Amino acid sequence: MNLRRQLIAVSLLLLSLPWAGCQYLREMERTLRSGQEMAVNATATAIASALTEKESLLYPTQRTAALAANAPTLAIPTADEPLFTDGFGEDWRLQPHLHALRDTTAGVSLYRAISGSWLHVLLEVSDDEVLYSTPYRQGDRAVVTCLDSLGARRRYLIAPEGPGLVSTITMNGRRLDAPLPLRAVWRERQGGYALELRLPVDGTCERLALQVTDATETEELPLFDSRRFSNGEIPWLIYRSEPFEQWLRVFAQPGRRIMVRDSAHHVVAVSEGDIATSSNDAEVFWLLRLLYRSALGGDNSATGDSRFINYEEQRPLANTGTYNPERWLQRQSGVAPISIIERQVPIDGDPHELGSVVVQETTERYLALTDRATGRVLGVSALVLLTAFTGLLFYASLLSWRIRRFSNAARAIASDAQDPRSFPRSTFQDELGDLSRSYAHLLSQISDYNRYLKGLARTLSHELRTPIAVIGSSLEHLADDETSVQQRTYVIRAREGLERLSRIVTSMSEASRIEESAQNAPISTLRVDKLMQDLTEAYKASFTEHEFSCAVPSCEPIQGNGDLIAQALDKLVENAVSFAPAGSTIAIALRDTADHLSIEVSNTGPLLPDTMASQLYEPMVSLRDENADQHHLGLGLTIARAIARAHGGDVQGNNLEDGSGVVFCLRVQRQPVEQQPG
């Protein structure tokens, strides 16, 4: 991982800043929720205490009578939308909470609801043959039985002569003229008919029963009796009280719903609060709000209850031990669910509980504060993160550029493509700047020392020539004098040593001269393939103890110095001859690529040691036997590399793949003929 990526990874630690802010906001949200729970509980307790003194609101005359007689009851839900007495029933099906009581045996469904100041009843009857009444016979018909709070009974006969509005007849035979408090509409439907009734909610019909008779051409059969749902008795109708709800509206506020249940768990009053639209979520974009809620850990409490309870649902009271009075609920509304907190408090009575008060309140108005605060925290955190990330990225890029600059300069110096004294010196007053200046000073000293070593050979060769000449002439004069045999032996040994020293000086001078001339040699158009063919023929004549093979394809001319390339090839061939066994073949080959030419010289013999791979091209390094008759200074590969680098290439030696010998490759850079170096 490079330095830039390391600093970017370190910058990720800044993510702890928004995390810490979210943790703070989470604690703030818990505090707000705790305060809201206390407020909701206080409201429910206050209403329950007030209803203890106002039992008449909770139990009007009919409910008190039903409670005293332990009589059956029938809960009548309240319609959310107006109902029209037309017999079609479409407006009923649009309100799913207005569910039906079904008699599957008779094929009858009974719907009931309170809409405004009217009681609506819908009967859907399955009948293969609908028979209408005529002056000569009775057809399919229904009987409605109503009882008021004092027990006075009224019965109405509904015997339609055709579909549409039906006139009702009292069971004593007297026809009631319009307008009637009881409105009935009969409609045929697929597989039967529907009868829709509307009765006033004015105390004249506190108990209700319906009977349906199915008539055919030959007989009449009782089809349905609603009393089967109430153990054969006419049930008391339990519905929400308008005076009670007016009293309950004193405690209402936006985002709060208050419900009161009687001891039979029926909802008898509701203070409607618009929970679905009471929040301020419109002020916060829904995607950001979803992100905030996710960061805050969700809206559900630890109870795990995440459903919205319809207020018409019947539930046991708190003292039964089966209901948790502290609940968190959720209701899906739009994009995100609405969180609701609910508290149920029993209404104490003597000797039994009179009912319960249920208060539901949305948490959205409190969470809206958290949403806005979270938005500000995340916004500021994002700005800080972006600024810090940009700054660290810029700093990492600058630091990486400085280090890469030093690295590139070091590689160029190592490959002799750059003067060591030109190593960049940083002007930054930091540790990296001090390091670059220290390395530049060190490389400058090493460069001066290398120049001294390179000039030492030339200086020694120049200074030693005169003493060598003096010693040589003295030995010649000494050899001309008459001396003993033993003295003559010493003279011969001295002359051999002097000749060896003379060759060393000559080689050192030649190496220095070639390195200098390689840098300033004239460049001309050169046919390397023709040059190699001519040189191979010369090698065959010069080194008769070895065989030579030449694989040189035709290639395009390059720009170079033919004398230097020939001299470099001479050094490689001399190196191969000195190691190859007598009678072996030395292979010379030329390979032409798009950007350079490769001259290869391979021979059998000893392999290159792995430990000497980087030292073969240094001056005074040789792998030949020290006891050999002819002494070698190890300057051949040094000269060949100097010539190759002067032509934009290099020299590299490797062992053959089959392990039989070595191969040296001399690469020279290809330059188009039309490009003349400057």
pLDDT at 328: 44
SS3 (DSSP) at 206: coil
Q: How many CB atoms lie within 10 A of CB 461?
A: 21
Is CATH 3.30.450 correct for 3-60+241-373? Answer: yes
Residues paired with 170 in a beta bridge: 156
Tell me the average pLDDT across 585-604. Answer: 89
| pLDDT attached to residue 414 | 75
519 vs 558, residue with greater confidence: 558
What whole-number distance in Å separates Cα of residue 225 and Cα of residue 236? 15
| pLDDT over threshold 50, residue 224 | yes
Q: Give the pLDDT score at 194.
A: 95
Strand 101-103 versus strand 108-115 pairing type: antiparallel
Using the predicted structure, report yes or no on whether residue 426 has a pLDDT greater than 60: yes
pLDDT score at 642 = 82
Per-residue confidence (pLDDT) for residue 120, from 0 to 100: 95
**pLDDT tens, 49-89?**
888 888 777 777 655 655 555 678 888 888 989 999 999 99
Q: Provide the pLDDT for residue 195.
A: 94
Average confidence score pLDDT of the chain: 77
How close are the terminal C-alpha atoms of the chain, in Å? 42
pLDDT band at 214 (very low <50, low <70, confident <90, very high): very high
- Identify whether the C-beta of residue 316 lies closer than 8 Å to the C-beta of residue 21: no
- Who's near 527: CB < 8 A, 6+ residues apart? 555, 557
What CATH number is given for 521-669 in this structure? 3.30.565.10
pLDDT digits (tens, 9 = 90+) for 332-350: 444 445 677 888 899 887 6
Which is higher by pLDDT, 626 or 444? 444
Q: Which amino acid is at 475?
A: L
At 124 the three-state DSSP class reads: strand
- Say how far apart CA 510 and CA 644 lie, in whole Å: 17
Minimum mean pLDDT among 548-552, 596-600, 626-630: which range?
A: 626-630
User: For 456, what's the count of Cα atoms within 13 Å in the CB-facing half-sphere?
Assistant: 8
Judge whether residue 520 has pLDDT over 50. yes
**What would the pLDDT profile of 602-624 be if each residue is shown by its tens digit?**
999 888 887 666 666 666 556 55
Q: CA–CA separation, 249 vs 270, rounded Å?
A: 9
Cα–Cα distance measured from residue 485 to residue 479, given in angstroms and rounded to the nearest whole number = 11
Which residues lie below 8 Å from residue 304, measured CB to CB, with a gap of 6+?
A: none
- Residue 280: pLDDT over 70: no
Domain ranges within the chain, ordered by starting residue:
3-60+241-373, 65-239, 419-520, 521-669
Q: What is the pLDDT of residues 459-483, one digit of tens each?
A: 766 667 677 777 777 777 666 665 5
Q: What is the pLDDT of residue 210?
A: 94
Please, what's the largest Cα pairwise distance for the chain? 182
Mean pLDDT for 427-438 is 83
Higher pLDDT pick, 607 / 521: 607
CB-based contacts of 124, cutoff 8 Å, min separation 6: 89, 100, 108, 109, 111, 189, 192, 194
Specify the amino acid at residue 156. Answer: Y
For the structural domain made of 419-520, what CATH number should be given?
Answer: 1.10.287
CATH class of segment(s) 65-239: mainly beta
The percent of residues in the chain predicted with pLDDT above 90, rounded, is: 16
CA angle centred on 339, ends 335 and 341, rounded to 5°: 165
- What is the per-residue pLDDT for 125? 94
Whether the per-residue pLDDT at 434 is higher than 50: the answer is yes
- Region 284-295: mean pLDDT is 58
Which three-class secondary structure string do you get for 153-183? EEEEEECCCCCEEECEEECCCCECCCCCCCE
What is the model's pLDDT at position 304?
34
pLDDT of 509: 65
Q: How confident is the model at residue 112 (pLDDT cuts 50, 70, 90)?
A: very high
What pLDDT score does 301 carry?
Answer: 40
Query: Could you report the per-residue pLDDT of 133-176, keeping only the tens digit for each?
Result: 988 888 999 999 988 877 788 888 999 999 999 988 777 544 44
Mean pLDDT within 294-313: 43
Higher pLDDT, 175 or 117: 117
**Nearest-angstrom CA–CA distance, 605 and 623:** 12
What does the pLDDT read at residue 644?
85
User: In this predicted structure, what is the pLDDT of residue 282?
Assistant: 47
pLDDT by residue (tens digit) across 32-54?
778 888 888 899 999 998 888 88
